[in-house]
Amino acid sequence: MDNQEPKRVRRVRYKGTHPRAFKEKYKELQPEQYSEDVAKVMQQGRTPAGMHRSICVDEIMEFLQLKPGQIGMDATLGYGGHSAEMLKRIVPGGKLYATDVDPIELPRTKERLAAMGFGDDVLVIHNMNFSRIDEIVLEAGPLNFVLADLGVSSMQIDNPDRGFSYKIEGPLDLRLNPNEGMSAAHLLQALNADDLEDLFVENSDEPYAEAIAQSVRLAKAAGDRIETTTQFQDIIKLALSQLPSDTRKEEIKKSCQRCFQALRIAVNDEFGVLDEFLEKLPEALAPGGRVAILSFHSGEDRRVIKSFQRFHRDGIYSEVAPDPIRPSAAECNSNPRAKSAKLRWAVKA
């Protein structure tokens, strides 16, 4: 019988001191093993690869006024940072129901929260869209609190396989659930120039929507398929190539951000999902129940405002936020991804 110890396999090391490839960032992707390295990244105002830094945590907790024994919902579980803070405040006796459509990150978050002591007895997780909040209520009963963070998680943005960022090469996918629906690449192929122009305007107020849509049309007419993030970025660069040289680079960057956002909103039907959620929300809340919604896009924020104000006029909400709560300057400095966040809240009558 062979009693020799198995041969030790050395970890594949990246070239240089600062890895660029997502899969090479083993220190950041294993924060529990390299906490000091991760801390250094965060001190530099960056989010470590594969991680997400929850935004407006203190402001959200101050508003929700959580107590042991309460029942609530985290509508967008993500990395689980907000959920962890809520769970700390509702145990013992409380229960949190959490939903997320992402089948890739969900198991990792469940494992992460379980390691913190939050098992199935206090945390029930469903791989489903938060627009189905009425189904959660059938299971949980009326909710004392609801939180919806409408932003895309950093670990989704950083993973090139997901195609969320124009900055790194990857498939032009942009789906929160890559197993369902149409990818952004397929959507570009399916839409004509007029419909694509409308999409860029409606979803992201893109000022160069017509030029970019026509650039896509010409590429398709030439037989080119736009299947990667870099190919779509090149289309945008070509569309804006006639801009003055002193502003061109910045304008291209902004248009890339807006157009990727517009496609992401479309392939995930984010506005439709939010509208359905907001319509069902009052019935889901118990009397005195509190809801906080964190948005990162003007289209989302407008929908939240209109819904809250309408139900407030009807007497269904006793209070609504008079103005949005913004992240502090200190938070924005340490986490630049917080800068566009707006927090709004409402209280059920």
CA–CA distance, 270 with 273 (Å, rounded to integer): 5
Cβ-count burial of 13 within 10 angstroms (0-12 exposed, 13-18 middle, 19+ buried)? exposed
Give the range with max mean pLDDT: 75-79, 99-103, 168-172, 282-286: 282-286
pLDDT score of 42: 47
CATH 3.40.50.150 residue ranges in the chain? Answer: 57-154+271-348
For 191-210, what is the mean pLDDT?
A: 96
pLDDT at 45: 45
User: In this predicted model, which residue has the larger pLDDT, 194 or 14?
Assistant: 194
Band of residue 333 on the pLDDT scale cut at 50, 70, 90: confident
How would CATH label the architecture of 57-154+271-348? 3-Layer(aba) Sandwich (3.40)
Mean pLDDT rounded to a whole number for the chain: 87
Please report which confidence band the pLDDT of residue 78 belongs to, taking 50, 70 and 90 as the band edges. Answer: confident
The pLDDT of residue 54:
84
Q: Give the per-residue pLDDT at 98.
A: 96
Q: Is the pLDDT of residue 300 over 60?
A: yes
State CA 331 to chain mean position distance. Answer: 18
Residue range 33-49, pLDDT digits in tens: 555 555 555 444 455 55
H helices within the chain, ranges in order?
26-29, 35-43, 57-64, 81-90, 106-115, 133-140, 154-158, 184-190, 193-204, 209-221, 229-239, 245-267, 270-284, 298-313, 329-334
pLDDT at 20 over 60: no
pLDDT digits (tens, 9 = 90+) for 100-118: 999 888 898 899 899 999 9
In the chain, where does the domain assigned CATH 1.10.150 lie?
Answer: 178-267
**Architecture, CATH, for domain 178-267:** Orthogonal Bundle (1.10)
Q: What's the pLDDT tens digit per position in 126-181? A: 999 999 999 999 999 999 999 999 987 767 777 888 877 888 889 999 999 999 99
* pLDDT exceeds 80 at position 24: no
pTM: 0.84
Share of the chain above pLDDT 90, in %: 69
At CA 142, angle to CA 141 and CA 143, rounded to 5? 110
203 and 299 Cβ atoms separated by less than 8 Å: yes
Least confident of 183-192, 233-242, 265-274, 331-340: 331-340
pLDDT for 40? 55
Q: What is the pLDDT of residues 203-229, one digit of tens each?
A: 999 999 999 999 999 999 999 889 999
Q: Provide mean pLDDT across the span 275-304.
A: 96
Structure-block tokens of residue 71 = 């029942």
Q: What is the pLDDT of residue 151?
A: 81
Mean pLDDT (whole number) for 81-90: 94
